[in-house]
Amino acid sequence: MDNRNDGLWSGGPWEQDNPGYPAPPAVRVPAAVSRRPVLRPRRRGRKWPWFLGLLALIALICLSTVLLDRYFDSAPPIIRDYFPSVEEDDWRQEGSLNDQPPAIPQARLGTGVTVTLLPARGEPLSYAQIFEQASPSVVSIEAEASDGYSAGTGVVLTRDGYIITNAHVVAGARDVRVLLHSNRILPASLVGFDAVEDLAVLKVEAEDLTPAQFGDSNDLRIGEPVAALGDSLGYRATFTDGIVSALDREVEVEGVTMALIQTSAAINYGNSGGPLLNQYGQVMGINTIKIVSEDGSAEGLGFAIPSQRVKYVVDRLIAGKEIKTGVFGFSVNTYALEGGGLELVDVEKDSDSWAKGLRAGDIITAANGVPITGIEDLTRLKLGLGAGDTVTLTCLRDGESFTVSVELIEA
């Protein structure tokens, strides 16, 4: 580490005047329009000509522009990142969808390491117990790029140094360092990176790390208590509580649709790549994005990648296999029929679903033996699958039941 970084990690990560950390990619929504006007008491006073007010406004804008120009000319690169130019798009203002993997050493692939999803055991823990159990498995990540430093969070997968984080935390970096729970700082190499899935796997040389326990996100229920843990705004190991607000929530950002866990637990800049924990201290998701409104009215709208999807993507990244999002090749009515089941409204002719005989009007009642009660069931099923994987569908046509094995096609 060179002299520029002396003291950077002392007392905790990024305790600097101007810390830098990539924003969780944000979905921006327009400012809310009030339906009821704000009533204020009328002031009686001297009326001024309208053009004097216009001149005053122009003068104020000019003065503000001069002051901002002087500020940005003197600000360090990381501060500039907080105030992007107006030409940049909304995603860039809250976190960049950078698809460039970090330019760091490549770790060995095909080691056989996988994510194991465990059922919940024992009694629910208090929030204090959840933090005590999970914090040794959470690390701080610093990524150095050509234009400055950024920071985020990671989750320990194995004792020997496999670490999961968001792709946007390390995208485009030329050097990545990891601060462990023990305050050791280790350089990281890259195992795998996927910008669309917003997941990356790093590797540090260690033998005594504390792996996190991963749970099955399919076991989550709306209303369950959860907690987020990470370096919120650069403050190391910040712990926030909330509930599961929604499951299988489809969120589209820059043309990419992700099925995510929605939570009321506060997820701020720097939380990216950290765990969303259930009441048993298990990692149920990797925190990734938040909703940001222009008027600041959006609160408690954070999202995490479900552990089922994390397992599928991470397992393939470590194995060196390509990740291909799989789809059934048909569309269904959004709402389930009375008694359950989803009706097909269209089947793509170049899909395996068409080749196996599925047609519009057929009703899917079960997938892999699990009853279909809503479109969320199919969405959840696809989290752990990709193109080429096979699903057994039980269907109804004219009152007759039949079963077909359908191969997912690449989206």
Residues labelled as active-site residues: 168, 198, 272
375-383 vs 307-319: helix axis angle to the nearest 10? Answer: 30
Biggest CA pair distance of the chain: 83
- Helix residue ranges per DSSP H, 149-286: 167-170
Phi and psi at residue 133, to the nearest 5°: -75, -40
* Cα 245 from Cα 358, distance rounded (Å): 35
Determine the Cα angle at 21 with ends 16 and 24, to 5°. 150
Long-range (24+ apart) CB contacts under 8 A made by 72-76 are 76/18, 76/148
Determine the Cα angle at 301 with ends 295 and 306, to 5°. 150
* Cα 8 from Cα 407, distance rounded (Å): 51
What letter would DSSP give residue 111? -
* Cα 313 from Cα 194, distance rounded (Å): 8
* Cα 18 from Cα 83, distance rounded (Å): 13
Contact 122, 173 (CB under 8 A): no
Report the SS3 class of residue 291: strand
First to last CA, the chain: 43
